[in-house]
Structure 1
Amino acid sequence: MALAAKRVLLLSRYDRKGASSRLRFLDLLPDLERYGVRVTASPFFDDAYLERLYAGEKAGLGALARFYLRRARVLLGARRFDAVWLEKEAFPWLPAWIERLFLRGCPYVVDFDDAWHLRYGRHRLAPVRALLERKLERVVAGAAATVVGNDFLAEWARAAGAGRVVRIPTTLDPGRYHPAARPPAAAAPLVVGWVGSPSSMEHLRTIAPVLGEMAAAGEIALTVVGAVAERLQDCPATYLDWTEAGEADTIAGFDVGIMPLTDSLWSRGKCAYKLLQYMAAGLPVVASPVGMNCEVVVDGETGFLPSDAEGWRQALRRLRADPALRAAMGRKNRARVEERYSRQAVAPRLAECFRAVCGG
Structure 2
Amino acid sequence: MKVLTLSPYPLAGPSPRYRLYAFQQPLRERGIELDIQPFLSPLSFRLRMNGAKNHPLALAQVATATVKRLWQSRTAQRRYDLIYVHRQTAPFAHEFFDEAFLKSNLPIVFDMDDAVFTQYPIDLLLRGSVAATVGNSYLGAYINLASALTEVTVMPTVVDTIRYTVHSKRQDQRRPIVGWIGTSTTFTQYLLPFLPGLVRVAQRFGADFQVIASLDVQARVEEIGAKFIPWSLETELADLQAFDIGVMPLQDDSYVRGKCAFKLIEYGAIGIPSVGSDIGANGEVIKHGITGYLAKDSDEFERYLADLLQRADLGRSMGIAARQVIEERFSLSSQVDTLEKVLRQAARKIP
Tell me by how many angstroms 1:298 deviates: 0.5
Partner of 1:271: 260
Partner of 1:296: 285
Q: Distance in 2 between matches of 1:189 and 1:214?
A: 14
Tell me by how many angstroms 1:235 deviates: 2.5
Partner of 1:334: 323
Tell me by how many angstroms 1:21 deviates: 1.3
Per mean C-alpha deviation after superposition, the further-off stretch among 344-353 and 309-318 is: 309-318
Contact 1:171 1:343 in 2 (8 A): yes
Return the match for 1:28 from 23, 26, 51: 23
Return the match for 1:180 from 161, 164, 167: 167
Partner of 2:140: 154
Is 1:315 paired with 2:304?
A: yes
Is 1:244 paired with 2:233?
A: yes
Return the match for 2:69 from 47, 68, 71: 71
**The residue matched to 1:41 in structure 2 has which SS?**
strand
Partner of 2:348: 359
Q: Structure 2 stretches of 5 or more lacking a match?
A: none
Is 1:223 paired with 2:210?
A: yes
Deviations 1:121-147 (A, max 9, x none): xxxxxxxxxxxxxx3012111101111
Partner of 1:42: 37
Give runs of aligned pairs for residues 112-151 of structure 1, distance below 5 A: 112-120=112-120, 135-151=121-137
Tell me by how many angstroms 1:152 deviates: 1.1
Contact 2:260 2:281 in 1 (8 A): yes
Q: Structure 1 stretches of 5 or more lacking a match?
A: 1-5, 121-134
Tell me by how many angstroms 1:118 deviates: 1.0
Partner of 1:91: 90
Distance 1:100 1:203, change over 3 A: same
Give aligned-pair identity as a percent.
29
Q: Distance in 2 between matches of 1:41 and 1:308?
A: 40
**The residue matched to 2:153 in structure 1 has which SS?**
strand
Q: Distance in 1 between matches of 2:314 and 2:46?
A: 39
Q: Distance in 2 between matches of 1:33 and 1:167?
A: 22
Report how many residues are paired.
340
Distance 1:319 1:244, change over 3 A: same
Return the match for 2:158 from 167, 171, 180: 171
Tell me by how many angstroms 1:213 deviates: 2.1
Tell me by how many angstroms 1:62 deviates: 3.3
Contact 1:190 1:221 in 2 (8 A): yes
Is 1:18 paired with 2:13?
A: yes
Tell me by how many angstroms 1:250 deviates: 1.3
Distance 1:43 1:234, change over 3 A: closer
Q: Compute the TM-score of the two structures, normalised by the length of structure 1.
A: 0.89
Q: Distance in 2 between matches of 1:223 and 1:281?
A: 16
Amino acid in structure 1 at the alignment position of 2:60: G
Contact 1:215 1:236 in 2 (8 A): no
**The residue matched to 1:225 in structure 2 has which SS?**
strand
Amino acid in structure 2 at the alignment position of 1:108: I
**The residue matched to 1:249 in structure 2 has which SS?**
helix
Q: Compute the TM-score of the two structures, normalised by the length of structure 2.
A: 0.91
Amino acid in structure 2 at the alignment position of 1:346: Q
Amino acid in structure 2 at the alignment position of 1:90: T
Deviations 1:160-182 (A, max 9, x none): 11412111000110111223334
Amino acid in structure 1 at the alignment position of 2:99: R
Per mean C-alpha deviation after superposition, the further-off stretch among 347-356 and 71-80 is: 71-80
Distance 1:315 1:98, change over 3 A: closer
Contact 1:36 1:351 in 2 (8 A): no
Amino acid in structure 1 at the alignment position of 2:115: A
